[in-house]
């Protein structure tokens, strides 16, 4: 809960600052790259989170590493996160910021889970149908989970459409458990 509150607060501040300065697209790209970097190698984030490392050393590293790679506004944003001891929430902040930018641009991020990989035609049909229903540009992420047996689970924002065979079997099992045989 705390992580989400912090992510919301700081991502909104970053979003408003970037929008005011016309840097939304740069912020989106640069923070997406930063998130990919810290996900692939957690060394930097672990260093920045470490309580035994002095803040001044963390600030020096951030300024040295990022000053020539990302916009000054974003470097200073990282400095604020360090000084406010909120750098541990950077992945969540970036995720929330990405959601804000995508909402601004009319992009809907959808995760589809299937028992087997979808063909290109199936993906295109799904994107077309979702775009028609939502009016958004759909950004599709596919996951494969053989445990769902068949069908699809589609997740968009807080909505889940579970059309998997596993769910159908679970519902059938619940209904049969309620039936009394005399």
Residues 6+ apart with CB under 8 A from 122: none
CATH for 2-103 is 1.10.520.20
Q: Sketch the domain layout of the chain as residue ranges.
A: 2-103, 107-178
Instruction: Kindly tell me the sign of the dihedral angle through the C-alpha atoms of 168, 127, 94, 99.
Output: negative
Q: Report the C-alpha gap between 35 and 41 in whole angstroms.
A: 10
Helix axes 90-105, 2-20, angle to 10 degrees: 50
Beta bridge partners of 143: 113
Encode the chain (182 residues) as per-residue pLDDT tens digits: 688 899 999 999 999 999 999 999 999 999 889 899 888 988 989 999 999 999 999 999 999 988 888 889 999 999 999 999 999 999 999 999 998 998 888 888 888 888 889 899 988 988 898 888 888 888 888 989 888 777 788 888 777 776 666 777 777 777 777 877 76
SS3 state of residue 15: helix
- The model's pTM: 0.72
């Amino acid at each position: 809960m705390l992580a989400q509150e912090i992510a919301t607060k700081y991502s909104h501040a970053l979003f408003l600052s970037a929008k005011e300065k016309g840097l939304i697209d740069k912020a989106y790209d640069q923070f997406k790259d930063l998130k990919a970097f810290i996900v692939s190698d957690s060394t930097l984030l672990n260093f920045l989170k470490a309580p035994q490392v002095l803040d001044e050393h963390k600030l020096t590293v951030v300024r040295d590493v990022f000053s020539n790679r990302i916009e000054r506004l974003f470097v200073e944003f990282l400095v604020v996160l360090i000084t406010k001891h909120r750098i541990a929430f950077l992945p969540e902040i970036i995720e929330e910021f990405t959601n804000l930018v995508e909402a601004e641009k009319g992009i809907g991020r959808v995760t589809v889970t299937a028992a087997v990989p979808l063909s290109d035609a199936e993906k295109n049909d799904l994107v077309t149908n979702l775009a028609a229903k939502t009016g958004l540009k759909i950004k599709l992420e596919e996951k494969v989970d053989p445990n769902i047996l068949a069908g699809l689970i589609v997740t968009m924002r807080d909505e889940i459409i579970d059309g998997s065979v596993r769910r159908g079997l679970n519902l059938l099992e619940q209904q049969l458990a309620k039936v009394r045989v005399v």
